[in-house]
Amino acid sequence: MSEPTQGFTAAWRDTALAVLRDKGVLLIMLLAPIIYGFFYPWPYGTQAVTRVPVAVVDQDHSGLSRQIARFAMASPRLDVRMVTSDVHEAQQALWRGEIEGYALLPQDLKRNVLRGTPAVVTIEGNGAYALLNKAVLYGFSEAVGTVSAGVEIRKLQAGGQGAVQAARSRSPLNTQLVPLFNPSEGYGSYVVPAVALLILQQTLLMGAAMLAGTWAEARRLRAGMGAWLGRLGALSGFGVLSGVFYFGWVFFLQDYPRGGNPFGALVLLLFYVPAICVLGLLLGCWFRDRERALQVLLFTALPMAFLSGFSWPVEALPAPLQALRWLFPSTAGIQASLRLNQMGAPLHDVLPYLGALVAMVVAGLLVLWIAATPRKAERV
Protein backbone atom coordinates (compact mmCIF):
# COMPACT_ATOMS: atom_id res chain seq x y z
CA MET A 1 0.00 0.00 0.00
CA SER A 2 1.45 3.37 -1.01
CA GLU A 3 2.27 6.04 1.58
CA PRO A 4 -0.59 8.41 0.55
CA THR A 5 -3.07 5.53 0.68
CA GLN A 6 -1.84 4.49 4.12
CA GLY A 7 -2.10 8.12 5.24
CA PHE A 8 -5.67 8.32 3.91
CA THR A 9 -6.77 5.12 5.62
CA ALA A 10 -5.14 5.96 8.97
CA ALA A 11 -6.52 9.51 8.94
CA TRP A 12 -10.01 8.28 8.04
CA ARG A 13 -9.96 5.80 10.94
CA ASP A 14 -8.46 8.27 13.44
CA THR A 15 -10.93 11.00 12.50
CA ALA A 16 -13.93 8.70 12.78
CA LEU A 17 -12.75 7.53 16.22
CA ALA A 18 -12.03 11.13 17.24
CA VAL A 19 -15.61 12.14 16.41
CA LEU A 20 -17.05 9.21 18.37
CA ARG A 21 -14.76 9.76 21.39
CA ASP A 22 -15.05 13.55 21.57
CA LYS A 23 -18.33 14.24 23.40
CA GLY A 24 -18.51 17.86 22.24
CA VAL A 25 -18.01 17.04 18.56
CA LEU A 26 -20.30 14.01 18.79
CA LEU A 27 -23.05 16.13 20.35
CA ILE A 28 -22.86 18.75 17.60
CA MET A 29 -22.30 16.54 14.56
CA LEU A 30 -24.63 13.62 15.33
CA LEU A 31 -26.97 14.31 18.24
CA ALA A 32 -27.80 17.95 17.39
CA PRO A 33 -29.17 17.12 13.90
CA ILE A 34 -31.33 14.37 15.42
CA ILE A 35 -32.69 16.70 18.12
CA TYR A 36 -33.31 19.45 15.53
CA GLY A 37 -35.04 16.91 13.31
CA PHE A 38 -37.69 16.37 15.98
CA PHE A 39 -37.86 19.82 17.56
CA TYR A 40 -37.71 22.23 14.61
CA PRO A 41 -40.73 20.88 12.65
CA TRP A 42 -42.79 20.55 15.84
CA PRO A 43 -44.09 24.17 16.07
CA TYR A 44 -45.14 24.05 12.40
CA GLY A 45 -47.17 20.86 12.79
CA THR A 46 -50.47 22.62 12.06
CA GLN A 47 -48.91 24.01 8.85
CA ALA A 48 -51.53 26.73 8.16
CA VAL A 49 -52.81 29.46 10.47
CA THR A 50 -56.51 28.98 11.23
CA ARG A 51 -59.14 30.36 13.60
CA VAL A 52 -57.50 33.74 14.10
CA PRO A 53 -59.44 35.80 16.68
CA VAL A 54 -61.23 38.78 15.09
CA ALA A 55 -64.18 41.13 15.63
CA VAL A 56 -66.99 42.42 13.42
CA VAL A 57 -68.06 46.04 13.85
CA ASP A 58 -71.66 46.16 12.62
CA GLN A 59 -72.92 49.75 12.34
CA ASP A 60 -75.58 48.89 9.76
CA HIS A 61 -77.63 46.31 11.68
CA SER A 62 -79.19 45.06 8.46
CA GLY A 63 -79.78 41.62 7.04
CA LEU A 64 -76.83 42.13 4.70
CA SER A 65 -74.39 43.00 7.52
CA ARG A 66 -75.59 40.04 9.59
CA GLN A 67 -75.07 37.78 6.57
CA ILE A 68 -71.47 38.99 6.22
CA ALA A 69 -70.92 38.32 9.93
CA ARG A 70 -72.29 34.77 9.54
CA PHE A 71 -70.01 34.07 6.58
CA ALA A 72 -67.04 35.36 8.60
CA MET A 73 -68.00 33.02 11.46
CA ALA A 74 -68.10 30.13 9.00
CA SER A 75 -64.62 30.90 7.63
CA PRO A 76 -61.95 28.40 8.81
CA ARG A 77 -59.44 31.25 8.84
CA LEU A 78 -61.39 33.36 11.38
CA ASP A 79 -62.69 33.05 14.91
CA VAL A 80 -65.18 35.87 15.47
CA ARG A 81 -64.83 36.68 19.17
CA MET A 82 -66.86 39.89 19.20
CA VAL A 83 -69.70 41.54 17.26
CA THR A 84 -70.15 45.17 18.26
CA SER A 85 -71.30 48.48 16.84
CA ASP A 86 -68.53 50.45 18.58
CA VAL A 87 -65.33 50.66 16.49
CA HIS A 88 -63.37 51.97 19.49
CA GLU A 89 -64.22 48.81 21.43
CA ALA A 90 -62.76 46.72 18.59
CA GLN A 91 -59.66 48.94 18.44
CA GLN A 92 -59.11 48.57 22.19
CA ALA A 93 -59.40 44.79 21.84
CA LEU A 94 -56.86 44.89 19.00
CA TRP A 95 -54.42 46.94 21.05
CA ARG A 96 -54.83 44.60 24.02
CA GLY A 97 -53.99 41.67 21.75
CA GLU A 98 -57.38 39.99 22.23
CA ILE A 99 -58.08 40.05 18.48
CA GLU A 100 -55.83 40.32 15.41
CA GLY A 101 -58.19 42.41 13.26
CA TYR A 102 -61.75 43.47 12.56
CA ALA A 103 -64.11 44.31 9.72
CA LEU A 104 -66.05 47.57 9.80
CA LEU A 105 -69.53 47.28 8.23
CA PRO A 106 -70.50 50.96 7.90
CA GLN A 107 -73.89 52.54 8.43
CA ASP A 108 -76.17 52.51 5.35
CA LEU A 109 -74.22 49.59 3.87
CA LYS A 110 -77.34 47.79 2.64
CA ARG A 111 -79.01 50.98 1.39
CA ASN A 112 -75.93 51.89 -0.67
CA VAL A 113 -75.80 48.38 -2.12
CA LEU A 114 -79.46 48.49 -3.09
CA ARG A 115 -79.02 51.93 -4.68
CA GLY A 116 -76.01 50.73 -6.64
CA THR A 117 -73.69 53.30 -5.06
CA PRO A 118 -70.17 52.18 -4.02
CA ALA A 119 -70.05 50.59 -0.58
CA VAL A 120 -66.76 49.86 1.16
CA VAL A 121 -66.12 47.37 3.97
CA THR A 122 -62.92 48.33 5.78
CA ILE A 123 -60.77 45.45 7.11
CA GLU A 124 -58.13 46.31 9.71
CA GLY A 125 -55.44 43.73 10.49
CA ASN A 126 -52.35 43.51 12.69
CA GLY A 127 -49.68 44.12 10.06
CA ALA A 128 -46.92 43.53 12.63
CA TYR A 129 -47.69 39.80 12.45
CA ALA A 130 -47.64 38.93 8.76
CA LEU A 131 -49.15 35.43 8.89
CA LEU A 132 -52.03 36.41 11.17
CA ASN A 133 -52.64 39.58 9.17
CA LYS A 134 -52.82 37.56 5.95
CA ALA A 135 -55.38 35.19 7.49
CA VAL A 136 -57.52 38.13 8.69
CA LEU A 137 -57.46 39.93 5.33
CA TYR A 138 -58.12 36.77 3.30
CA GLY A 139 -60.83 35.50 5.64
CA PHE A 140 -62.86 38.71 5.66
CA SER A 141 -62.25 39.27 1.92
CA GLU A 142 -63.65 35.82 1.14
CA ALA A 143 -66.70 36.42 3.36
CA VAL A 144 -67.46 39.84 1.86
CA GLY A 145 -66.71 38.62 -1.68
CA THR A 146 -69.12 35.68 -1.33
CA VAL A 147 -71.93 37.92 -0.06
CA SER A 148 -71.20 40.49 -2.78
CA ALA A 149 -71.40 37.81 -5.46
CA GLY A 150 -74.77 36.68 -4.10
CA VAL A 151 -76.13 40.24 -4.18
CA GLU A 152 -74.95 40.71 -7.75
CA ILE A 153 -76.50 37.43 -8.90
CA ARG A 154 -79.84 38.34 -7.32
CA LYS A 155 -79.77 41.69 -9.16
CA LEU A 156 -79.17 39.89 -12.45
CA GLN A 157 -81.99 37.46 -11.72
CA ALA A 158 -84.27 40.41 -10.97
CA GLY A 159 -83.43 41.71 -14.44
CA GLY A 160 -84.83 38.55 -16.02
CA GLN A 161 -81.84 36.18 -16.18
CA GLY A 162 -82.00 32.59 -14.99
CA ALA A 163 -79.92 31.38 -12.05
CA VAL A 164 -77.29 29.68 -14.25
CA GLN A 165 -77.10 32.59 -16.70
CA ALA A 166 -76.84 35.08 -13.82
CA ALA A 167 -73.99 33.09 -12.25
CA ARG A 168 -72.15 32.97 -15.58
CA SER A 169 -72.76 36.67 -16.25
CA ARG A 170 -71.42 37.56 -12.81
CA SER A 171 -68.21 35.62 -13.37
CA PRO A 172 -67.53 35.10 -17.10
CA LEU A 173 -63.88 34.20 -16.42
CA ASN A 174 -62.96 31.81 -13.62
CA THR A 175 -59.58 30.99 -12.13
CA GLN A 176 -58.22 27.75 -10.74
CA LEU A 177 -55.45 28.21 -8.18
CA VAL A 178 -52.98 25.31 -7.93
CA PRO A 179 -50.10 25.68 -5.40
CA LEU A 180 -47.38 23.55 -6.94
CA PHE A 181 -44.70 21.84 -4.79
CA ASN A 182 -46.55 22.80 -1.58
CA PRO A 183 -50.16 21.64 -2.05
CA SER A 184 -51.20 22.40 1.53
CA GLU A 185 -49.58 25.87 1.38
CA GLY A 186 -48.22 25.04 4.83
CA TYR A 187 -45.56 27.14 6.50
CA GLY A 188 -43.69 24.06 7.73
CA SER A 189 -43.57 22.59 4.21
CA TYR A 190 -42.10 25.89 3.04
CA VAL A 191 -39.48 26.55 5.69
CA VAL A 192 -38.30 23.20 7.12
CA PRO A 193 -36.96 21.59 3.87
CA ALA A 194 -34.74 24.63 3.35
CA VAL A 195 -33.69 25.07 6.98
CA ALA A 196 -32.77 21.37 7.18
CA LEU A 197 -29.87 22.07 4.80
CA LEU A 198 -28.84 24.99 7.00
CA ILE A 199 -28.94 22.84 10.15
CA LEU A 200 -26.78 20.29 8.38
CA GLN A 201 -24.29 22.97 7.40
CA GLN A 202 -24.02 24.65 10.80
CA THR A 203 -23.61 21.42 12.79
CA LEU A 204 -21.00 20.08 10.37
CA LEU A 205 -19.14 23.39 10.24
CA MET A 206 -18.89 23.62 14.01
CA GLY A 207 -17.96 19.97 14.44
CA ALA A 208 -15.24 20.04 11.78
CA ALA A 209 -13.83 23.35 13.03
CA MET A 210 -13.80 22.13 16.63
CA LEU A 211 -11.96 18.97 15.60
CA ALA A 212 -9.38 20.94 13.59
CA GLY A 213 -8.98 23.30 16.56
CA THR A 214 -8.32 20.30 18.79
CA TRP A 215 -5.62 19.05 16.39
CA ALA A 216 -4.07 22.53 16.33
CA GLU A 217 -3.97 22.71 20.14
CA ALA A 218 -2.31 19.25 20.21
CA ARG A 219 0.13 20.29 17.43
CA ARG A 220 -1.25 17.55 15.17
CA LEU A 221 -2.88 19.81 12.60
CA ARG A 222 -0.39 19.62 9.75
CA ALA A 223 -0.69 16.51 7.60
CA GLY A 224 -0.11 15.34 4.04
CA MET A 225 -2.83 15.63 1.43
CA GLY A 226 -3.62 11.92 1.76
CA ALA A 227 -4.31 12.43 5.46
CA TRP A 228 -6.41 15.56 4.81
CA LEU A 229 -8.49 13.62 2.29
CA GLY A 230 -8.95 10.86 4.88
CA ARG A 231 -10.08 13.42 7.48
CA LEU A 232 -12.46 14.95 4.94
CA GLY A 233 -13.83 11.53 3.99
CA ALA A 234 -14.55 10.53 7.59
CA LEU A 235 -16.29 13.82 8.41
CA SER A 236 -18.28 13.63 5.16
CA GLY A 237 -19.48 10.16 6.08
CA PHE A 238 -21.11 11.49 9.25
CA GLY A 239 -22.57 14.40 7.29
CA VAL A 240 -24.11 12.16 4.63
CA LEU A 241 -25.75 10.07 7.35
CA SER A 242 -27.31 13.23 8.82
CA GLY A 243 -28.47 14.32 5.35
CA VAL A 244 -30.08 10.95 4.63
CA PHE A 245 -31.77 11.16 8.04
CA TYR A 246 -33.46 14.44 7.01
CA PHE A 247 -34.23 13.59 3.39
CA GLY A 248 -35.29 10.03 4.04
CA TRP A 249 -36.97 10.08 7.44
CA VAL A 250 -37.76 13.57 8.83
CA PHE A 251 -39.45 14.70 5.60
CA PHE A 252 -41.36 11.40 5.49
CA LEU A 253 -42.38 11.59 9.16
CA GLN A 254 -43.58 15.20 8.86
CA ASP A 255 -45.20 14.51 5.46
CA TYR A 256 -43.39 17.37 3.75
CA PRO A 257 -43.19 17.44 -0.07
CA ARG A 258 -40.32 15.11 -0.89
CA GLY A 259 -38.99 12.40 -3.14
CA GLY A 260 -39.17 14.41 -6.35
CA ASN A 261 -35.76 13.14 -7.44
CA PRO A 262 -34.29 10.93 -4.67
CA PHE A 263 -31.25 9.92 -6.72
CA GLY A 264 -30.51 13.57 -7.47
CA ALA A 265 -30.91 14.46 -3.78
CA LEU A 266 -28.41 11.76 -2.83
CA VAL A 267 -25.95 13.04 -5.44
CA LEU A 268 -26.40 16.53 -4.02
CA LEU A 269 -25.43 15.29 -0.54
CA LEU A 270 -22.21 13.83 -1.99
CA PHE A 271 -21.30 17.31 -3.21
CA TYR A 272 -22.82 19.42 -0.45
CA VAL A 273 -21.39 17.66 2.61
CA PRO A 274 -17.69 17.67 1.52
CA ALA A 275 -17.99 21.38 0.66
CA ILE A 276 -19.17 22.07 4.23
CA CYS A 277 -16.53 19.85 5.84
CA VAL A 278 -13.64 21.37 3.94
CA LEU A 279 -14.85 24.85 4.91
CA GLY A 280 -15.09 23.73 8.53
CA LEU A 281 -11.55 22.34 8.46
CA LEU A 282 -10.30 25.62 6.98
CA LEU A 283 -12.02 27.62 9.70
CA GLY A 284 -10.54 25.31 12.34
CA CYS A 285 -7.06 25.85 10.88
CA TRP A 286 -7.68 29.58 10.99
CA PHE A 287 -9.06 29.74 14.54
CA ARG A 288 -6.53 27.21 15.91
CA ASP A 289 -8.72 27.11 19.00
CA ARG A 290 -11.38 24.51 19.75
CA GLU A 291 -13.85 26.83 21.46
CA ARG A 292 -13.40 29.74 19.05
CA ALA A 293 -15.29 27.81 16.37
CA LEU A 294 -18.44 27.77 18.53
CA GLN A 295 -18.05 31.42 19.48
CA VAL A 296 -17.79 32.57 15.86
CA LEU A 297 -20.13 30.18 14.04
CA LEU A 298 -23.07 30.29 16.48
CA PHE A 299 -24.31 33.68 15.25
CA THR A 300 -23.80 33.03 11.54
CA ALA A 301 -26.90 30.85 11.00
CA LEU A 302 -29.37 33.71 10.55
CA PRO A 303 -27.24 35.72 8.06
CA MET A 304 -26.66 32.53 6.05
CA ALA A 305 -30.40 31.84 5.98
CA PHE A 306 -31.06 35.27 4.47
CA LEU A 307 -28.19 34.93 2.00
CA SER A 308 -29.39 31.52 0.80
CA GLY A 309 -32.28 33.17 -1.04
CA PHE A 310 -35.23 31.05 0.12
CA SER A 311 -36.71 33.45 2.67
CA TRP A 312 -36.09 36.70 0.79
CA PRO A 313 -35.71 37.35 -2.96
CA VAL A 314 -32.06 37.36 -3.96
CA GLU A 315 -32.69 40.21 -6.38
CA ALA A 316 -33.67 42.41 -3.43
CA LEU A 317 -30.30 41.90 -1.69
CA PRO A 318 -27.55 44.54 -2.02
CA ALA A 319 -25.06 43.70 -4.79
CA PRO A 320 -22.12 42.92 -2.41
CA LEU A 321 -24.26 40.41 -0.51
CA GLN A 322 -25.36 38.77 -3.76
CA ALA A 323 -21.68 38.03 -4.46
CA LEU A 324 -20.79 37.15 -0.86
CA ARG A 325 -23.52 34.51 -0.55
CA TRP A 326 -21.75 32.15 -2.98
CA LEU A 327 -18.93 31.66 -0.44
CA PHE A 328 -21.25 29.51 1.70
CA PRO A 329 -22.28 25.96 0.68
CA SER A 330 -25.82 26.56 1.97
CA THR A 331 -26.57 28.96 -0.90
CA ALA A 332 -26.05 26.39 -3.65
CA GLY A 333 -27.14 23.46 -1.45
CA ILE A 334 -30.55 24.86 -0.46
CA GLN A 335 -31.42 26.00 -3.98
CA ALA A 336 -30.42 22.64 -5.47
CA SER A 337 -32.19 20.66 -2.73
CA LEU A 338 -35.49 22.50 -3.18
CA ARG A 339 -35.36 21.83 -6.90
CA LEU A 340 -34.44 18.15 -6.59
CA ASN A 341 -36.33 17.07 -3.50
CA GLN A 342 -39.47 19.21 -3.65
CA MET A 343 -39.85 20.12 -7.33
CA GLY A 344 -38.53 16.89 -8.87
CA ALA A 345 -36.11 18.69 -11.17
CA PRO A 346 -33.68 16.54 -13.20
CA LEU A 347 -30.04 16.54 -12.18
CA HIS A 348 -28.86 18.59 -15.14
CA ASP A 349 -31.05 21.50 -14.01
CA VAL A 350 -28.93 21.93 -10.87
CA LEU A 351 -25.51 21.47 -12.48
CA PRO A 352 -24.52 25.12 -11.84
CA TYR A 353 -25.15 24.64 -8.12
CA LEU A 354 -23.21 21.35 -8.09
CA GLY A 355 -20.41 23.10 -9.96
CA ALA A 356 -20.29 25.81 -7.28
CA LEU A 357 -19.98 23.13 -4.56
CA VAL A 358 -17.20 21.33 -6.46
CA ALA A 359 -15.36 24.64 -6.82
CA MET A 360 -15.58 25.16 -3.05
CA VAL A 361 -14.13 21.70 -2.37
CA VAL A 362 -11.26 22.17 -4.85
CA ALA A 363 -10.47 25.67 -3.60
CA GLY A 364 -10.61 24.48 0.02
CA LEU A 365 -8.26 21.55 -0.61
CA LEU A 366 -5.87 23.87 -2.41
CA VAL A 367 -5.77 26.20 0.59
CA LEU A 368 -5.25 23.23 2.94
CA TRP A 369 -2.39 22.01 0.75
CA ILE A 370 -0.74 25.42 0.86
CA ALA A 371 -1.35 26.24 4.51
CA ALA A 372 -1.62 22.96 6.43
CA THR A 373 0.67 20.37 4.85
CA PRO A 374 4.18 19.71 6.24
CA ARG A 375 7.00 21.75 4.74
CA LYS A 376 10.02 19.97 3.25
CA ALA A 377 12.08 20.78 6.31
CA GLU A 378 9.40 19.28 8.56
CA ARG A 379 9.26 16.07 6.50
CA VAL A 380 13.06 15.70 6.87
Q: For residue range 24-38, what is the model confidence (pLDDT) as tens digits?
A: 999 999 999 999 998
C-alpha angle 53-55-56 in degrees, rounded to nearest 5: 145
Q: What is the value of pTM for the model shown?
A: 0.84
* Most confident residue range from 41-50, 133-142, 309-318: 133-142
Q: How confident is the model at residue 294 (pLDDT cuts 50, 70, 90)?
A: confident
Question: What residue ranges do the domains of the chain occupy?
Answer: 8-44+184-372, 52-170
Q: For residue range 224-278, what is the model confidence (pLDDT) as tens digits?
A: 999 999 999 999 999 999 999 999 889 888 888 887 899 999 999 999 999 999 9
Whether the per-residue pLDDT at 4 is higher than 70: the answer is: no
Q: How confident is the model at residue 376 (pLDDT cuts 50, 70, 90)?
A: low
**How many secondary structure helices (H) and strands (E) does the chain include?**
18, 4
CATH 3.10.150.10 fits 52-170, yes or no: no
Q: What is the pLDDT of residue 291?
A: 87
**Rounded mean pLDDT, 211-218:** 93
Whether the per-residue pLDDT at 378 is higher than 60: the answer is: no
Q: Are strands 78-84 and 101-105 parallel, antiparallel or unpaired?
A: unpaired
* Distance (Å, whole) CA 270 – CA 242: 12
Q: How confident is the model at residue 47 (pLDDT cuts 50, 70, 90)?
A: confident
Whether the per-residue pLDDT at 171 is higher than 80: the answer is: no
| Mean pLDDT taken over the chain | 90
Q: For residue range 119-168, what is the model confidence (pLDDT) as tens digits?
A: 899 999 999 888 899 999 999 999 999 999 888 888 888 888 888 888 88
Q: What is the pLDDT of residue 151?
A: 86
Closest to 182 measured CA to CA, from 194, 170, 198: 194
